[in-house]
Amino acid sequence: MVPLSSFDYIIVGAGSAGCVLANRLTEDPQCQVLLLETGGSDRSIFIQMPTALSIPMNTKKYAWQFHTEPEPYLNNRRMHCPRGKVLGGSSSINGMVYVRGHARDFDEWEAQGAEGWNYQQCLPYFKKAEDWAFGEDDYRSQGGPLAVNNGNNMQNPLYGAFVEAGQQAGYMHTDDYNGKQQEGFGAMHMTVKNGVRWSTANAYLRPAMQRANLHVQTGVQVEKVLLDGNKATGVRVRQNGQFREFQARREVILSAGSIGSPHILQLSGIGDPVVLEEAGVELKHALPGVGSNLQDHLEFYFQYECKEPLSLNSKLGPLSKLAIGVRWILFKTGLGATNHFESCGFIRSKAGIEWPDLQYHFLPAAMRYDGRSAFAGHGFQLHIGHNKPKSRGSVKIQSDDLDCPPKIQFNYLQHPDDIEAFRACVRLSREIIAQPAMDPYRGNEIQPGAAVVTDEQIDSFVRSAVESAYHPCGTCKMGAIDDPTAVVDSDTRVIGLRQLRVVDSSIFPTIPNGNLNAPTIMVAERAADLIKQQTALSGESVAVGLAEHWQSQQRCHAPLRG
């Protein structure tokens, strides 16, 4: 146990945001920081080896295995919602894909009341965080904690064929979707360093743990934030079956994620009075927005047989996996050193949309997220989803019992525009794979299947086949203090309370067009300066690439094959 019981800052959650904060706040040697994590060590080959990504997210030891309530617009399916429960949090169980989001996503945040969170102000913090493998420019930087590269550099020819097919279908090529121009097809980036998953635990926490002023406690579950009137004074936790309290001299910072942070607020009596009353929790501070505004990305696998024996399906047997693992253990190279998502695409689902709302991850295999083969033989697949959903859900406390999980309801596909976008996913994807670049490889369509053609057939397929992309956010919305749906202000402070902040993906006002680890790290980098009351990094005015005729055209030219 930590001998101290009082600290300057208490950070709840050693995940994508918490590890960043632990590093940045302990840069001041006079500042004592306590970092609390329910999970344990991330020292596992299944976490550190990139190709093993499907294992930790499906393992109770490393992830909260949440499930939603029956989703009414997905045939009442209960959807899997794993969240990191280990040092590094969800950055230790995710797919390691590095996508910042489109510049307009952050302009959208500011438009919704998150003052100072436009793209110009966020860009310096994306750059501060990263160590980009391919040099510096106005958009990218080197020397930061977070290693970003392209894994095995698209050695499998299927990656390049997919990128070429996207251009033949009428879309742009992008040299760097995290740079000036997101829209288009190109190489995908990942958080891997020297063949090892570069989680925030590796990038930020381990260097900080060498400092005497950082105190890390694992196996600790936070029951509630302690309040003295409208001031947060510390936290009450359970560790080894015993309860104890830690005091915060300056601030308590919740970084428990989009499920954990609103739940802890609700356990503390902070939230919607109606929700708290139904759960039998005493109201301490009314904030109706706590737990609302829940958003996520859905995706499905568009799968094809591959006519050439190039796919990873032949590597899924026990002997092949053993060989991959041995090579990785010895040399940190080969197929074990990549997440296999090495090419991608970002497109708009229809004309009149200013920036991309659909995202492709290309995988040279036909398999499921649990790592099992989808069929016997060679294949490839597109992970395709609509990334700017209008449907909204909630996270609601059910009981004051610490062991009772919250009620999670996304209301996936509730909004008709979301269904329309998934129809575009099916039709546009078929058009891309029908291009000449894929002729040497394209076999039969496995899923959805050639017979799925009409709106009704596509809708039925989507409702039965879509899965979460594991990007929940928005449940402690950042906004103006007079916004009744906002939970934190633009300085990440819980509205109406002192010395309490939330810093993680739960404060996103809207979901970005991309995977959420990169913007979560950026948010934590910028929040650290706000907490330390340092002068924020100067905003950078840069050009933002948009399709020239986005108002009237869905792509830049007609496809070679329709």
- What is the distance between the alpha carbons of residues 394 and 476, in angstroms, rounded to a whole number? 10
The strand ranges marked E within 465-510 are 467-468, 500-502
Q: Which of 347, 302, 429, 339 is nearest to 177 (CA)?
A: 347
Residue 280's SS3 state is coil
H runs (alpha helix) in 288-382: 318-331
Provide the total of helices (H) and of strands (E) in the chain, helices listed first.
13, 24
CA 475 to chain centre: 14
- DSSP conformation letters of 9-57: EEEE--STTHHHHHHHHTTSTT--EEEEESSB----HHHHSGGGTTTGG
Q: Which of 290, 254, 294 is nearest to 484 (CA)?
A: 290
Q: Are 378 and 305 in contact (CB under 8 A)?
A: yes
Q: Which residues of 353-371 are buried (b: 16+ CB within 10 A; e: fewer)?
A: bebbbbbbbbbbbbbebee
Tokens (6 digits) for 451? 């017979």
Active site residues: 471
Q: Which residues of 241-273 are buried (b: 16+ CB within 10 A; e: fewer)?
A: eeeeebebebbbbbbbbbbbbbbbbbbbbbbbe
- What is the distance between the alpha carbons of residues 480 and 476, in angstroms, rounded to a whole number? 12
